[in-house]
């Protein structure tokens, strides 16, 4: 069988190959873990090699800037933005600069059934839905071609996403006019399976009744801090509308780690050379380096990786305060600027057990939670 990739650890599911195939022979299809992979229709494939050539995972150096140039501590100036953002609200400040110039924003949103999907925003309200980290891989199908369409009619575009998604878009756009395209990647710990996220929602619905009605990953109901980041996953259902703390999804993500995509374990975007013009993240360690700026409403880290990134940051200066900091701080605090996440040796055992017994039983066996 023809494949675009040699082993799942080499495919991040970015859709660059699907969007580049000249005969439309590639479609993205979920595997048994719920991650999307390209599948080739052998009757339409003409063996041109475009799909392998466009793969950002195989050609990572082609879609990264050199090591980041500057790093900043940053924070949005508005209280309400801070309280509705994961970190220091950098995403809102940066995306506002593009929206006010008539541009469009691409970022991760929830659809009506809590699937994480990449969407296009032209208004503040649409953009606001992209706020808050959503800990499941977003569905990018159809998005790169929309971005290309926007650029072709002269719109400014800010695309935000994981480093591999930004790299995929950069690779897809290679050789085309990208002067109005701005890329902003997040520092990414690793990306969990959409299927596990959906199973988690069904489990909560069974336990609490009704349908999931509210989700707050990384809620600011608790002070922003590295310690608190493990106890800020809140959910409510239609039957039980109180937002309740539940750390089991966090446990799956950070402790069990088997739910993370295989390619994250060999991610080539876990160093200081970034695919985005800017990189945004949490300013972990602020309490050590600059205790006077340790704000429980959240602080952002911003890395400037290109002159375009520098320009975007400059435009954002009215909305956001920022302070130049030594690179050594973020290099010490952010493991994903140094190395990929380590996936557990018993990863397959987890999936076989989940497949046979369901999520509640897998949680009990692998995370020590009573079903």
Ligand X SMILES: Cc1cc2nc3c(=O)[nH]c(=O)nc-3n(C[C@H](O)[C@H](O)[C@H](O)COP(=O)(O)OP(=O)(O)OC[C@H]3O[C@@H](n4cnc5c(N)ncnc54)[C@H](O)[C@@H]3O)c2cc1C
Nearest one of 193, 195, 176, 189 to 226, comparing CA atoms = 189
Residue 281 as a binder of ligand X (CB under 6 A): the answer is yes
Region of 10-18, 60-68, 196-204, 279-287 interacting with ligand X (CB under 6 A): 279-287
| Contacting residue, 73, 116, 151, 267, with ligand X by CB under 6 A | 116
Q: Do residues 30 and 195 touch, judged by C-beta distance below 8 A?
A: yes
Residue 257 as a binder of ligand X (CB under 6 A): the answer is no
Nearest one of 157, 102, 95 to 127, comparing CA atoms = 95
Gap between the Cα atoms of 278 and 94, Å rounded: 10
Write out the binding residues for ligand X, residues 188-227 only, by CB under 6 A.
188-189, 191
Nearer to ligand X, 19 or 87 (CB): 87
| Contacting residue, 38, 56, 161, 309, with ligand X by CB under 6 A | 161
Phi/psi for 153 (5° steps) reads -100, 15
Residue 98 as a binder of ligand X (CB under 6 A): the answer is no
Residue 334 as a binder of ligand X (CB under 6 A): the answer is yes
Residue 186 as a binder of ligand X (CB under 6 A): the answer is yes
Q: Do residues 136 and 215 touch, judged by C-beta distance below 8 A?
A: no
Nearer to ligand X, 143 or 151 (CB): 143
CA 67 to chain centre: 21
Q: Is 365 exposed, middle or buried (0-12, 13-18, 19+ CB in 10 A)?
A: middle
Give the SS3 label for residue 162: coil
Nearer to ligand X, 217 or 351 (CB): 217
Cβ 48 to ligand X shortest distance, Å: 30
Nearer to ligand X, 85 or 258 (CB): 85
Residue 87 as a binder of ligand X (CB under 6 A): the answer is yes
What single string gives the DSSP state of each residue in 230-246? GS--EEEESSS-S-EE-
Gap between the Cα atoms of 16 and 140, Å rounded: 10
Residue 130 as a binder of ligand X (CB under 6 A): the answer is yes
Residue 18 as a binder of ligand X (CB under 6 A): the answer is no
Cβ 79 to ligand X shortest distance, Å: 13
Neighbours of 206 (CB within 10 A): 10
Region of 4-12, 158-166, 306-314, 351-359 interacting with ligand X (CB under 6 A): 158-166
Residues that bind ligand X (CB under 6 A): 85-92, 107-108, 116, 130-136, 138, 160-162, 186-189, 191, 280-282, 284, 300, 334, 336
């Amino acid at each position: 069988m023809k494949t675009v990739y040699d082993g799942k650890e080499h495919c991040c599911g970015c859709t660059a190959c699907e969007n580049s195939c000249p005969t439309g022979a590639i479609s993205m299809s979920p595997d048994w873990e719920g991650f999307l992979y390209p599948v080739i229709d052998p009757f339409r494939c003409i063996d041109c090699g475009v799909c392998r050539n466009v793969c950002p995972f195989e050609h990572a150096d082609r879609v990264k800037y050199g090591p980041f140039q500057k790093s900043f501590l940053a924070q949005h100036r508005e209280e309400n933005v801070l309280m509705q953002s994961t970190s220091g609200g950098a995403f809102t400040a940066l995306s506002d600069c593009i929206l006010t110039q008539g541009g469009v924003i691409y970022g991760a949103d929830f659809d009506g059934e809590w699937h994480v999907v990449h969407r296009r925003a032209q208004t503040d309200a649409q953009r606001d839905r992209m706020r808050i980290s959503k800990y499941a891989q977003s569905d990018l199908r159809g998005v790169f071609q929309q971005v290309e369409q926007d650029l072709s009619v002269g719109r400014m575009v800010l695309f935000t996403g994981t480093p591999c998604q930004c790299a995929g878009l950069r690779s897809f756009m290679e050789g085309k006019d990208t002067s109005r395209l701005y890329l902003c990647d997040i520092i990414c710990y690793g990306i969990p399976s959409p299927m596990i996220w959906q199973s988690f929602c069904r489990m909560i619905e069974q336990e609490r009744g009704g349908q999931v009605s509210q989700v707050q990953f990384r809620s600011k109901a608790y002070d922003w801090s590295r310690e608190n980041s493990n106890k800020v996953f809140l959910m409510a259902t239609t039957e039980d509308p109180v937002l309740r703390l539940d750390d089991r999804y966090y446990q799956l993500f950070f402790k069990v780690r088997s739910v993370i995509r295989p390619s994250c374990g060999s991610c080539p975007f876990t160093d200081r050379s970034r695919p985005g013009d800017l990189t945004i993240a949490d300013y972990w360690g602020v309490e050590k380096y600059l205790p006077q700026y340790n704000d429980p409403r959240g602080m952002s880290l911003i890395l400037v990786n290109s002159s375009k990134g520098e320009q975007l940051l400059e435009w954002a200066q009215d909305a956001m305060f920022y302070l130049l900091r030594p690179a050594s701080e973020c290099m010490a605090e952010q493991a994903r600027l140094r190395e990929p996440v380590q996936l557990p040796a018993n990863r397959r055992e987890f999936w076989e057990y989940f497949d046979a017994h369901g999520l509640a039983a897998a949680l009990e066996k692998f995370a020590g939670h009573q079903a």
